[in-house]
Amino acid sequence: MKNKIRNFCIIAHIDHGKSTLADRLLEYTNTIQVTGGQMLDDMDLEKERGITIKSHAIQMEYTYKGEKYILNLIDTPGHVDFSYEVSRSIAACEGALLIVDASQGVQAQTISNLYMAIEHDLEIIPVINKCDMASAMPEEVEDEIVELLGCKRSEIIRASGKTGMGVEEILAAVIERIPHPEGDEEAPLQALIFDSVFNSFRGIIAYFKIVNGVIRKGDKVKFFNTGKEYDADEIGVLKMEMVARQELRTGDVGYIISGIKTSKEVKVGDTITHIARPCKEAIAGFEEVKPMVFAGVYPIEAEDFEDLRSSLEKLQLNDASLTFQPESSLALGFGFRCGFLGLLHMEIVQERLDREFDMNVITTVPNVSYNIYDKQGHMTEVHNPGSMPDPTLIDHIEEPYIRASVITTTDYIGPIMTLCLGKRGELVKQEYISGNRVEIYYDMPLGEIVIDFYDKLKSISKGYASFDYHASGFRPSKLVKLDILLNGEPVDALSTLTHFDNAYDLGRRMCEKLKDLIPRQQFDIAIQAAIGAKIISRETIKAVRKDVTAKCYGGDVSRKRKLLEKQKRGKKRMKQIGNVEVPQKAFLAVLKLD
């Protein structure tokens, strides 16, 4: 039976048309009647932005040369923030469709996901999509793919998700080139969890692929890495809806419902096995997802704190890579410190809080986690500048670095290198891919990329550069904490950790920006940027004042002076009791300083 199963995934850069092509495959195998629009991207946000956020699995049946085959397709996200999810989906497959846009050619994300697939020994089927477009350059793109994969030109399939050209060739190639799942049905059960979704009626549904063994409805199972035990209340396969089955065998891809309520118990990459006859070891490659970017999320109204907590908990059930813990801030009250996989992930979480839970939130400046070593050699991990120990106790600070790869045309190499060097990047190497396309590798601090690197890269290359990165460990760095003081009081939500060389410039720009944004009061407001006790920049917002000397006309100057002195005393008294409200847009403006 298992030699009639083919498991494959689709890997591509954002917007190379993989979800549209997946729809065509579903249509040709009569799995669905296509009604228009993406069938697999079912979240509103996915439809609007045209990106895949969650992996989707679906089973198709196809008759080829008179024999019936079962094809399991896993559609994966293309964005760099979701690469762990992609790696687990790849581990659940024996083959992959590598889709490249005929008008854009090979991009950074395609290459990094392709290497992941090659590491897992997947059979790669190269497909050039969007061949019906006027701007398509299939010949040049074929050259790039041949150079990248070392395959024959005849193995590359030209297709179009819009017109349906080449779809039958793809299905034939999947059946002929991709090997059937290996595995032993007699061995103890081993199944890899590659995704999980939350259903408000059934609890958590885990998607898995069986590597060895058989699972039947009602079996007692346990999850290897968490050690939790469950009953398999319902198992089945994934069509457009879930279809229950009595048993699933080696090579099958399916789902299990076992009444799990908390998302922490289901980890993507975990192994399912039987309690009575467990497997010796888990399937390799499991790792905890580590958040890269941290930001404070605060409710705008203080009484919404509990609502925000429950919204984040519900969101976490659907998106296991989101982490959060409570924290408080003098300026913003109570809120949560959230960890995200990257900036796009942070943006999506904010959008989903707003849409699905109607929560209005303030997000602080995103930052990364630093390792701080004290004089005794103890290390503490710090996620926000407020929890930094006293500078006199610190021996040195380490910050996370990434290896970034940028693919672009030769026209934009200069500006891109200038941008990377400005972000303290170090050039590792550059390689010409084909024609005038070049790949540049940089080692850069993650903290420099977090705020606006991607937007700037897109604008200076007019959208022709693609960017991908992976973490490459920690390095010691000369970092200082920059505080912003209003009338001598530090505003903790505006303090940042920054490199010593950038601190003066950043402090000056923040003060100038805040001067424009904070409304004038009845008294003078001093805005200062400080490193420790040393003030490095200052701006003053002048008081709004009434002309008290207007009624004096002529006469002795001491009458005027008396009135001005009286006003001065009043202003001084006001300044002691007055407090300065920092408006919401000031926090956001600091993010977009340039």
Q: Is 129 annotated as contributing to ligand binding?
A: yes
pLDDT band at residue 459 under the 50/70/90 scheme: confident
Q: Is 17 annotated as contributing to ligand binding?
A: yes
pLDDT above 70 as % of the chain? 87
Buried b (16+ CB within 10 A) or exposed e, 128-148: bbbbeeeebbeeebbbbbbeb
Distance of CA 545 to the CA centre of its chain: 49
Give the CA radius of gyration of the chain.
29
Q: Nearest CA to 352 among 289, 382, 386, 308?
A: 308
Cα angle 237, 241, 244; round to 5: 40
β-sheet with 242-245: strand ranges across: 229-231, 220-223, 271-274, 190-199, 203-212, 253-260, 234-238, 242-245
List strand residue ranges (DSSP E) for 143-264, in order.
157-158, 190-199, 203-212, 215-216, 220-223, 229-231, 234-238, 242-245, 247-248, 253-260
pTM: 0.68
pLDDT in the model for residue 44: 59
Judged against a pLDDT cut of 60, whether residue 164 lies above it is answered with yes
Mean pLDDT value across the chain:
79
Q: Is 19 annotated as contributing to ligand binding?
A: yes
Among the listed ranges 18-27, 43-52, 340-349, 489-498, which one has the minimum average pLDDT value?
A: 43-52
pLDDT in the model for residue 327: 82
pLDDT in the model for residue 31: 66
Judged against a pLDDT cut of 70, whether residue 52 lies above it is answered with no
Contact indicator for 125, 71 with CB cutoff of 8 Å: no
pLDDT band at residue 287 under the 50/70/90 scheme: low
DSSP state of 132: T
Q: Nearest CA to 479 among 363, 367, 376, 594?
A: 367
Judged against a pLDDT cut of 70, whether residue 83 lies above it is answered with no
Please report, to the nearest 10 degrees, the dihedral formed by the alpha carbons of residues 457, 463, 466, 468 taken in order.
50
Gap between the Cα atoms of 182 and 8, Å rounded: 14
State pLDDT tens for residues 391-444.
Answer: 788 888 888 888 888 888 788 888 888 888 888 888 888 888 766 778 888 898
pLDDT in the model for residue 51: 60
Q: Is 154 annotated as contributing to ligand binding?
A: no
Q: Is 15 annotated as contributing to ligand binding?
A: yes
Instruction: Give the amino acid at 461.
Output: S
pLDDT in the model for residue 38: 54
pLDDT in the model for residue 152: 83
Residue written as token pair 């497997």: 279
Domains and CATH numbers, the chain: 3-175 (3.40.50.300), 188-272 (2.40.30.10), 291-363 (3.30.70.870), 369-476 (3.30.70.240), 478-590 (3.30.70.2570)
Q: Which residue has the higher pLDDT, 246 or 119?
A: 246
State pLDDT tens for residues 59-75.
Answer: 888 888 888 888 888 76
Contact indicator for 415, 403 with CB cutoff of 8 Å: no
Residue written as token pair 């720009």: 509
pLDDT in the model for residue 314: 78
Tell me the sheet residues that pair with 475. Answer: 399
Sequence-separated (6 or more) residues with CB below 8 Å from residue 133: 102, 103
Question: Which H/E stretch holds residue 426?
Answer: strand 426-434
Q: Is 534 annotated as contributing to ligand binding?
A: no
Tell me the sheet residues that pair with 567. Answer: none
Judged against a pLDDT cut of 70, whether residue 126 lies above it is answered with yes
pLDDT band at residue 550 under the 50/70/90 scheme: confident
Gap between the Cα atoms of 504 and 561, Å rounded: 40
pLDDT band at residue 108 under the 50/70/90 scheme: low
Q: Kindly report the backbone phi and psi dihedral angles of residue 309, in degrees, each rounded to the nearest multiple of 5, phi listed first.
A: -60, -45
Q: Are strands 123-129 and 95-101 parallel, antiparallel or unpaired?
A: parallel
Gap between the Cα atoms of 226 and 214, Å rounded: 21
Residue written as token pair 């402090």: 507
Gap between the Cα atoms of 127 and 129, Å rounded: 6
Contact indicator for 486, 525 with CB cutoff of 8 Å: yes
Q: What is the mean pLDDT of residues 532-558?
A: 84
Gap between the Cα atoms of 336 and 244, Å rounded: 40
